[in-house]
Chains A and B, each alone.
Chain A
Amino acid sequence: AQKVTQAQTEISVVEKEDVTLDCVYETRDTTYYLFWYKQPPSGELVFLIRRNSFDEQNEISGRYSWNFQKSTSSFNFTITASQVVDSAVYFCALYSGNTPLVFGKGTRLSVIA
């Protein structure tokens, strides 16, 4: 069965610190897709990134970067030089086995000025 674990329930950092959000997934399929979504205090869910299982290259988008490691079944998300606007709940999600998306329980990030 597919499963996503976000072990960090809450993280608090001081502005300008770097922070990494962990995501560990489980699937028996060789083809799968991983996602990160952001949920700011306003409540909407914002898509951040989609990565398929055949592309292990790390991705960088501004202050955001993602580290995909199949060997450890992890898809971690790093925010560099965090800002108060990064405060949100972040969800990791997995699609595999032709079943709908499975979400982790989320990590609440608080960035303190």
Chain B
Amino acid sequence: NAGVTQTPKFRVLKTGQSMTLLCAQDMNHEYMYWYRQDPGMGLRLIHYSVGEGTTAKGEVPDGYNVSRLKKQNFLLGLESAAPSQTSVYFCASSPTVVGETQYFGPGTRLLVL
């Protein structure tokens, strides 16, 4: 039981490049989330999904797209990376959203030059 895993762990991009971050969970959770963490800002929700085939915007969705084609996977895409997207990205999952504990992946450190 690996819990929540994220790929890659670290990535360097040039401005304008695109990439996809992969999140996978093996806990059969319905809900999945993408956060970004910046110094002094805590964790801010980018997008989330309440089930396979669904997505919704969070607090800071601009510049990102997501897809949930399979229940266990949640993809975060950057179509044209900008230096402002330099951050640590965390994926999380929970059985439902109603007060349930979210379990986090180890994070992906992204540097956009």
Contacts and interface: CB of A to CB of B under 8 A. Distances in A.
Interface of A: 9, 31-33, 35, 37, 43-45, 47, 50, 52, 91, 95, 98, 100-101, 103-106
B103 A105 contact: no
B42 A103 contact: yes
A45 B94 CA distance: 14
Given A100-B33, A100-B58, A106-B42, A47 B48 contact: no
A45 B97 contact: no
Given A91-B42, A103-B42, A106-B42, A43 B107 contact: yes
Given A43-B88, A44-B107, A105-B42, A100 B99 contact: no
Interface in B43-58: 43-45, 48, 58
A100 B107 contact: no
B90 A45 contact: yes
B97 A98 contact: yes
A11 B97 CA distance: 32
Interface of B: 33, 40-45, 48, 58, 88, 90, 92, 97-99, 101-104, 106-107
Given A91-B42, A98-B97, 18 more contacts: A9-B40, A35-B101, A43-B106, A45-B90, A47-B101, A47-B103, A50-B99, A50-B101, A95-B97, A98-B98, A100-B33, A101-B33, A101-B45, A103-B43, A103-B44, A105-B40, A105-B42, A106-B42
Contacts of A9: 40
B42 A101 contact: no
B7 to A, nearest CB: 15
Contacts of B99: 31-33, 50, 52, 95
Nearest to A39: B37
